[in-house]
Structures are given as C-alpha cells and as structure tokens.
Structure 1
Amino acid sequence: MLSIERSAYFVPDTRFVVQTDLARFNINAAQAKVFTKIYGLNQIPYAKDISVTDLIEKSVSKLFVDGTVRKQDIKFIIHAHTAKVITRFGQSVIREVKSRLGLLSATAFGTSLNNCASTLNAFEMAAMLLTCQDKTAKAIIVTGEMAFTPTVQVIPNTSITGDAAAAVVVSLNDHNNKLLALEINTYGKYSRGIWLSEEESKDFEKRYVPLLGETINKVVEKTGLSLSDIKMILPHNVNLISWAKLAKHIDYPLANIYLENISKYGHCFGADILINFTDVQSRQLLNKGDYYLMVTVGLGATFAAAVFKY
C-alpha cells in the first residue's frame, strides 16, 4: 500500500496582486473584484529570475535536508504537470533536476495525462512501479510549473494560476499517510478545456459540482467509510465558491475543507493538493488514524479523489 513519507514545497516570495496588477492578467477592475471578493483570490506567486527547473529543484531538494531519505533509494521521479510544454523543445526539466541533485539510481519521466489531476495519476503510477522494486525503494512525485502566458494564467470565470512546486517521497513500506483508495473519472465531452464553446462551458459549470461530488462519494465508498469519517478534504485551490457549493451538495462541513491557501497562492496547478498536505502536517491539523481526502480536477475534464489514512 503506497504511503507518503515526506513532503515539501517551494513558493516564490514575489507576488502579483489581483486587484492592482490588471494588465498582467488582462482583466478589468470589475473582473478583478469578482476574482477577489467571490472567488477568494488575492495574491498570485510568480517566479522572478529563476527557471522552471530551478523552481522544481528547490522543492525536491527540501526532501533530503535532514538526511532521513537516502538518494540511492529513489528509484523513480515522476513529474506531474498541466501544460504539455513547460520549457524549450528538447529540454527535459525533470532529468536536469535529477542530474543536479545526484539522484543517479532514479528513472525520471513526466506525465500531463489529466492536466491538474495528473498529480493523483502519478500516485497510481508510483504504486505500480514500486511493486517491482525491493523493499527500500522509494519514488518522488513532484509537480511544478510556471504560468508563462495569460492564456495559461487566467482560467475565465474560474481562477488565476501561480508559480510553485511541491514534492513527496512515497514508498510501499511506511505506516503513515497510506493511500487507501483512488478514483479518477474523465469526461471527454469537455476535452477542449479552456477552448470550450460558450454553450459547452455553461454545461461544464452546471455539472462541475455534481460530477465532483460523485467522484468523492465513489472513492469514499471504496474504503467502506462514510463522508462523516473523513476528517478533512485537501482541495485544489481553484476558488472558494466552488468548494462552498460542493460542501453543500455533499452535505460536508465547509470548515473541514482546507481553503487557507487560496488567497495566498491562487491555483498553483497540480501542486495545490501537495502544498495543502504539507501545511496541514506542519500545523498538526490531523491526528494518527484520521482519514482525509485529496481532491483535484483537471480541465479536459478529469475529476480525481484519493482517500488517505494519517
């Protein structure tokens, strides 16, 4: 059973402010007010004078700070990202990170299969790959990229994305943060993502909460638990209003959905759920034996949820 052993993230200190940096986001003051007052977005991190490779390296390197994770035990590095192209053609960001950090025993590759939901796809991949390794084997799942154009940065009527990277070490032999069940559902009729027609976009917005609620209920049912057994939901930070609607739809306490980072970081692609996990751990908001969910959605459209036991 796959477990999370360590986690870390890096968010740049530099920020755009939604209400004032209108030109950056190509929005007007009225749109900015919607993003801040209704969606809960305030500051958006951006990486100044560093590359996407640097961004990812900074998060992965934190996993080795105290020496408890041995580099020779890392057999796989899986980079989950949203944009299909995140650097210049011919360059492999994750192989460069592997080389810089001396992770010589690892096979490194990337996946953008389900956009922002690719992070949970990577957990599934890691579990399968590690079954063929010895007991000491571990994998790193890292997600990180930059919002390098307005098209990538602003999701109309939904969210604004920021620059960040987050990473976890996973193995099959730890006893904490065990992955109990995973549910990934893809709805191809929305495959055009941000290029959906107006009619298609309205249909997606209408079905978003019911489809997400269905995915959550399915993954909880797989474990034999009920929603009342789930101590906390660690969400993607798309906006506040969608999670308020979801909480009402599934009759789950909004206070138990960790939403504190939406105003600070915006939506940092697939890194959101790992950033939230790291913060919840550091704040000791979960106790031994608690059940929690990681929940994310990738445009295209993929709804994904996973149940873990702390």
Structure 2
Amino acid sequence: MTALAAVATYLPDRRVPIEELADGLDLTPMQVRLFRRFHMLSDVCRDPDATPLDLLLAAVSNLDALRGQEHRVRYVLYARTFPVVVPYPLNPLHALCRLLGLDQAVAFTVTHHACATGLLAIDVAGRLLASDPDPDAYALVLAGEKAFTRDAQLVPETSIFGEGASACLIQHSGPRDRLLSYAANQRGEFDDELSDDTAKFQEEYHSSLADAILAAVDRAGLDLADLALILPHNVNLVAWQRLCRRIGYPVARVLLDNVPLTAHVFCADAFVNYTTAHARGLLHPGDRYLVAAAGAGRGATFSAMVFEH
C-alpha cells in the first residue's frame, strides 16, 4: 500500500500584499477588495530571484529523510500545473537529479491534471513502486513552479498563484500516511474554460469536487464523519466554505490557515498543508484525512485522496 515516507516544503520568506500585484495583473480596486475581503487572500509568496530549479532544491534540502538514501530513489516525478515552465534546453528536473546524485533514477514530468497533478503523481509513483522488484525502493515526487506569466499568476475571479515547492518521498508500504483511496473526476468539456466558459466552470466546480471527495471517502470504506481533517488546495476560503456546506462537513476541520499567507502554490498546496498539520500536531496515529485538489487547463480535474496517518 502506497505510503508517504517524508514530506518537506519551501516557501519564500518574501510575502507580497495582493495590492502590490494589482497593476501587473490589471486588477481594479474592486477586484482587489473582492480577493481580500471575500476570498480572504492577503499575501502571496514570491521569490523573484529564484529559478524553478532553486525552488525545487530548496524543498529537497529540507527533506532530511532523503540524506544518505539517494541510492534507493528509483523514480523522480515532477508534478506540474503547466506543461512548459522553462525555455528549451533548460530542464530543472534533470539538473536536480545530477546535483543530488539521483542519476540512476527514472525522471519524468507529469502535467495532465493541472493543479491536481500532485495527487496524480503520488498515484503514479505508487503504481511504479508496486511493480518494482526492489521492496525498499523510493519515489521522489516534486512540485513547485514560478508565477512567470499572467496565466501563471492569476485564476480570474478565483485565486492568485504564489511561489514555493515541495518534495515528498514515497514508498510502496509504510507504517504511516498510507494511501487508502484515490478518486479523480475529469471534466473534459471544460477545455480552456478559464477564457471561454468561466461561468459554467464556476457553476460546476463545487459539485465536481464534492463528487471526487465523496468517491474517495466511499472507496476507503469510510464516511465523511470519519475524517479527522481535510487538507485543501489553497484556492480561496469562500470556495471551501460553500463546499463544506454542500457535503455537510465542518469547515473548522479543513486546514485553511495557509490560504491568506501563501495563496495557491500550484501543485504544492497539499504538501504545504500537510507539513503545517504535522507541525501543529493536528494528525494522530490512526487518523484518516483527505487531501483535495482541482486543476483547470485542458479540461478540468477534481481529485481527492484519503490517507491513514
């Protein structure tokens, strides 16, 4: 059974108030107030001098469990929101493997689920490890991108992207953070919906994510009440308030504290929230918790995973 062996993240110290981003994003004063007062977005993490490779290396440097175990890493997966994040011939993933002595690993990028690709990467890593002949093999799942274009900085009327990165060490089986279920609700009709049919996407958003969450809980053989915590994607607070009302889950048990501080950190949200939950002692042995994510681009994907801590 797939398990998380260790999780580490990196968030830049520099946090930019959303008001300072208004001119570059062509936001009106009313739109800025909407983000701050309605969506509860306050600051955005940014590291203007860091490259994508710098962000990933910073996250891996915090992954203490990897030190001395590099030889056990069989696969390195880079979960990305965008298919292309650097100009050719740069390749931050392969550069990272060379720098960290992971040349023996099979390294590749996963992008197909946009901001929900982090969960897809965990699922793919688990499948690869399940078929690997070495029971002690690891997979390393990375996430982290630059807010390098307007599309990579803003989800219209919904959220603002911040910068950061995460590194997650995956094993085939382990004593904690075992994956119980995974569900992905893919909506191919929302191809390029952010520019063509925003209203329809917003209308379907909550029901589609709710379906994924309920499917994952059901596949784990649980009820919503059995979940100690939900680790969300950090899109905005009001979206989660509405979703919790829809599914009948207490919003107080959704870890939303990072939303005003980091905004939406691409595929790294789940791991950022995991490290916060772990640091605060919010998860206890045997607790079941759910990780949720939504991604939009070439179609829309709504995903959820249930773990046992």
- TM-score bucket of the superposed structures, by smaller chain: over 0.9
The alignment's TM-score, normalised by the length of structure 1, stands at 0.96
Q: How does 1:57-68 map to 2 (within 5 A)?
A: 57-64=57-64, 67=67
Alignment correspondent of 1:84: 83
Structure 1 counterpart SS, 2:19: coil
Query: Which of the residues 229, 245, 251 maps onto 1:254?
Result: 251
Moved over 3 A (4+): 64-67
Structure 2 counterpart SS, 1:167: strand
CA distance in 1, matches of 2:86, 2:218: 40
Q: How does 1:61-140 map to 2 (within 5 A)?
A: 61-64=61-64, 67=67, 70-131=69-130, 132-140=132-140
Query: Which of the residues 220, 234, 237 maps onto 2:231?
Result: 234
Alignment correspondent of 2:201: 204
One-letter amino acid matched to 1:285? L
Q: Using the TM superposition, give the Cα deviation of residue 152 of structure 1 relative to its aligned residue in structure 2, in angstroms.
A: 1.7
Q: Using the TM superposition, give the Cα deviation of residue 45 of structure 1 relative to its aligned residue in structure 2, in angstroms.
A: 1.0
Gaps in structure 1 of 5+ consecutive residues? none
Q: Structure 1, residues 197-254: CA drift from partner, whole Å, max 9, x if none?
A: xxx2211111111111111111111111100001100000000010000000000000
- The 8 Å contact of residues 44 and 161 in structure 1, kept in 2 or not, is answered as yes
Q: Using the TM superposition, give the Cα deviation of residue 144 of structure 1 relative to its aligned residue in structure 2, in angstroms.
A: 0.6
Q: Structure 1, residues 18-37: CA drift from partner, whole Å, max 9, x if none?
A: 13432133212111000011
Alignment correspondent of 2:40: 40
Alignment correspondent of 2:52: 52
Gaps in structure 2 of 5+ consecutive residues? none
One-letter amino acid matched to 1:108? A
CA distance in 2, matches of 1:49, 1:206: 38
Structure 1 counterpart SS, 2:278: helix
CA distance in 2, matches of 1:181, 1:113: 20
Structure 1 counterpart SS, 2:62: helix
One-letter amino acid matched to 1:220? V
Root-mean-square deviation over aligned CA pairs: 1.3
Q: Structure 1, residues 160-194: CA drift from partner, whole Å, max 9, x if none?
A: 00111011101013110000000011101102132
Alpha carbons of structure 1 residues 66 and 124: separation in structure 2 relative to 1, 3 Å: closer
Query: Which of the residues 235, 242, 245 maps onto 1:245?
Result: 242
CA distance in 2, matches of 1:133, 1:7: 24
Q: Structure 1, residues 128-149: CA drift from partner, whole Å, max 9, x if none?
A: 1112231110011111101101
Q: Using the TM superposition, give the Cα deviation of residue 66 of structure 1 relative to its aligned residue in structure 2, in angstroms.
A: 7.8
CA distance in 1, matches of 2:62, 2:179: 23
- The 8 Å contact of residues 15 and 43 in structure 2, kept in 1 or not, is answered as yes
CA distance in 2, matches of 1:83, 1:77: 18
The alignment's TM-score, normalised by the length of structure 2, stands at 0.96
CA distance in 2, matches of 1:44, 1:286: 27
Structure 2 counterpart SS, 1:85: coil
Alpha carbons of structure 1 residues 6 and 308: separation in structure 2 relative to 1, 3 Å: same
Q: After alignment, is 119-128 or 252-261 more displaced?
A: 119-128
CA distance in 2, matches of 1:309, 1:117: 20
Query: Which of the residues 275, 280, 285 maps onto 2:277?
Result: 280
Alignment correspondent of 2:13: 13
Q: Using the TM superposition, give the Cα deviation of residue 65 of structure 1 relative to its aligned residue in structure 2, in angstroms.
A: 6.5
- The 8 Å contact of residues 16 and 46 in structure 1, kept in 2 or not, is answered as yes
CA distance in 2, matches of 1:133, 1:144: 30
